[in-house]
Amino acid sequence: MLFTDRFEKRTAMQVKIEALLNEIEQLKATTAEDVEAIRIKYLSKKGIISSLMDEFRSVPAEQKREVGMKMNALKQAASERLQVLREQFAQNGAAEGMTDLSRTAYPVALGSRHPLSIVREEICDIFKRLGFTIAEGPEVEDDWHVFSSLNFAEDHPARDMQDTFFIQHDPQVVLRTHTSSVQTRVMENSEPPIRIICPGRVYRNEAISYRAHCFFHQVEALYIDREVSFADLKQALLFFAREMFGTETKIRLRPSYFPFTEPSAEMDISCNICGGEGCPFCKQTGWVEILGCGMVDPNVLENCGIDSKEYSGYALGMGIERITNLKYQVKDLRMFSENDLRFLEQFRPAH
């Protein structure tokens, strides 16, 4: 009778294990909740397989080895099947565009390029199509490259402390006030023809307001070669204006003065807001100033070791903030350096 009871108990447990093996092999899941429910049902501390371990304690000692092997095989089969279901669900979910459950719960927002970087790249791209290459130089400069080589007189107002930041009270070391210093370095170390564009940050000791800042960004261009004329400059300016602001854009040049160019001019474009009809943005004139330009002064060429009798050239310079204001109608320069996400997110690409 005792032998019969033990045989029936062993047989019943083996039958249960075999039934569970068949059941586990047929398991399917279509959602993450299904996968988790299967894990809880079979492999959790209170699951079916754990309860079988409690029954295993009553198995006779001479049968524990055989039943124990079947129990381990059952647990292994359940774990492997659960892993297969997880992988299938992950693949199906990715194929159907479902949420990746392994990702963080916090939204990951993509950033955008700064508006000044966008406009700077656009300006450089336009001049690259004219054959210009990018040249860069140091922001901490000496007096020669920033002023003296560019024909600034000793008593020129730009040398005054109110305009220029000096380093360690040394009048010969300054933060560059314009990227023209890059032009002088290139002219000193290169043989014509020279065709460069110089983007960069510059510094001036000015009160910060909606229309001025102690640092801003410029792009300057320089072309030196034989027989370069003002007509070449005008054509380059017209090409730039129409590429940047539209094919209907008009330009006009007004006489001006810069120490490093002669003759010099300020360039205006027809207002891109009102089309030249007159509006508050252009102060009802129909024109907006965007840059200064002129033919390189012969003294500057000679200072940089270039024969002014053989070569001539033109130079032009513009503030990137100014062009960005015109392009996006940003009325406060301080917005460009405050890192306000509400402002910067407006320039995120639509795609």
Question: What are the sequence ranges of the domains in the chain?
Answer: 2-95, 115-347
Give the C-alpha separation, 154 to 147, whole Å: 9
**In Å, how far from its chain's centre is CA 12?**
69
**Residue 297 phi, psi dihedral angles, 5° rounding:** -60, 135
Asked whether 95 and 201 are in contact (CB, 8 A), the reply is no
For residue 151, give the nearest of 244, 241, 259, 59 by alpha carbon: 259
pTM: 0.66
The two three-digit tokens of residue 62, written as one number: 């001479």
Domain 115-347 annotated CATH 1.10.40.30: no
312-319 vs 287-296, strand pairing mode: antiparallel
Task: Note down pLDDT in tens along the chain; length 351 residues.
Answer: 444 444 444 457 777 888 888 888 888 877 778 888 888 888 887 888 888 777 777 777 777 778 778 888 888 888 888 888 877 766 655 555 556 667 666 766 677 889 999 999 999 999 999 999 999 999 999 989 999 999 888 887 777 756 888 887 777 888 999 999 999 999 999 999 999 999 999 998 888 887 778 889 999 999 999 999 999 999 999 999 999 988 989 999 999 999 999 999 999 999 877 777 877 777 888 898 999 999 999 999 999 999 999 999 999 999 999 898 888 888 788 888 888 888 888 887 654
- Residue 178 burial (CB < 10 Å; 0-12/13-18/19+)? buried
The sign of the CA dihedral 122, 124, 126, 128 is negative
Q: Are 300 and 151 in contact (CB under 8 A)?
A: yes
Residues near 257 by beta carbon (within 8 Å), at least 6 away in sequence: 264
Nearest CA to 293 among 316, 318, 325, 324?
316
DSSP character string of 246-260: -TT--EEEEEEEETT
